[in-house]
Chain A
Amino acid sequence: MNAHSISERLPGPFLAAGAGPDGEAMTREEIQAKVQDVLAEVLGIDEDEVTPRATLTGDLGAESIDFLDIVFRLEQAFDVKIAQGELFPENLQQDPEYVQDGALTQAGLSALREKLPHAEIDRIEDDPRLARVGEIFTVDAIISFVERKLGAAA
């Protein structure tokens, strides 16, 4: 058997090239359209379900591995590198200063605000149980993150 892959000899592209912004800064509408594409693809839902105010976990049914999938696909779609902890929080619950009795402390909320300026911390401020942390990520929050990342914010 030839040790080279059969698929190499088949027609058609294997992977779609990641389309990055070329030249002109993207508008928020352009970013939104691509983010909606990414989220619909990752979560296996229709694009029209991906409304700006929908939350990833509550409304769109995202699970933990989907967050990594979202990071990977945003990197590809916008040709950027997203560090761990940059878009979504990491190792939050392991810090006793930030989490007590299964809820975020004031210090934890402040840390989130500082580290994740795109996230909507206000949504959980009155009831900052860890289980609700997913609610700080709306489709809008992801769009805002990408907008900052691309330096496209007005």
Chain B
Amino acid sequence: MRWLWIDRILAIEPGERLVACKAVSLSEPHLHQHFPARGDDEALPVVPAPLIIEGMAQTGGLLAGHARGFVDDVVLAKLRRAELAFEVLPGATIEFDARLSNIDDSGASVEGTVCVQDPSWDGARKLGEIGLMFAHVPPQREGLQVAEAFRTLVSASVRAGGPGIKSFAI
């Protein structure tokens, strides 16, 4: 894990389900390249689809890692499918709802639903579904440790409160 791409855990059912969210900000530099103004076309800052998949991969990876006490590293190994219905703009919040469908010593599979809340809308809309496979590999010493990242997230999430996370101990 190189960086955290999710901001908050909203709910966790250990070994089964993890819901996390990410707030999209126009201060994220990549949005200015995706897509810049060109000729007569105005700039169109939208979240690149691979980064939406990354958010689900982090949510699902933390769910799988936590299920086994972070004894292994969890590496994204396969994108089973991804169907995303619309573009996500700065100011929106993306919610990743990951469910563990299978896990063993060699890997795990996760099925996820992605929803978006945009301040301009009444209510949330379903963006799509993402299916992922993870491989369990021996822990790496470099980069952000998964367990450490998880503790950071849980700490911020517990402080924020909410029924889904309050009862959960790190």
Q: Which residues of A contact B (CB under 8 A)?
A: 1, 3-8, 10, 14-15, 42, 65-66, 68-69, 72, 75-76, 84, 90
Contact = CB atoms under 8 A, between A and B. Distances in A.
B113 A7 contact: yes
Nearest to A14: B113
B111 A69 contact: no
Contact of A66 (B78, B105, B111): B78
Contacts of A5: 10-11, 19, 95, 97, 113, 115
B77 A6 contact: no
Interface of B: 10-11, 19, 21, 77-78, 80, 93, 95, 97, 99, 101-102, 104-107, 109, 111, 113, 115, 117, 124, 126, 133, 135, 162-165
Nearest to A68: B107
Given A66-B78, A72-B101, A4 B95 contact: no
Contacts of A7: 95, 97, 113, 115, 126
B113 A3 contact: no
B79 to A, nearest CB: 10
A10 to B, nearest CB: 5
A15 B164 CA distance: 21
B69 to A, nearest CB: 19
B126 A3 contact: no
A65 B77 contact: yes
A3 B162 contact: yes
B96 to A, nearest CB: 9
Those 10 A-B pairs whose CB atoms lie nearest each other, nearest first? A3-B162, A3-B164, A6-B115, A7-B113, A65-B77, A72-B102, A6-B124, A5-B97, A7-B97, A5-B19
B108 to A, nearest CB: 9
Contacts of B115: 5-7, 10
15 contacts: A3-B164, A4-B11, A5-B95, A7-B97, A7-B115, A8-B97, A10-B113, A10-B115, A10-B126, A14-B99, A42-B80, A65-B133, A68-B135, A69-B133, A84-B104
Contacts of B113: 5, 7, 10, 14
Contacts of B126: 6-7, 10
A138 B124 CA distance: 46
B10 to A, nearest CB: 5
A8 B106 CA distance: 30
Given A7-B126, A8-B97, A14-B111, 11 more contacts: A1-B10, A1-B93, A4-B19, A4-B164, A5-B113, A6-B124, A7-B115, A10-B115, A65-B77, A65-B107, A72-B101
Nearest to A8: B97
Contacts of B93: 1
Contacts of B77: 65
Nearest to B80: A69
Contact of A4 (B80, B133, B163): B163
A48 B156 CA distance: 51
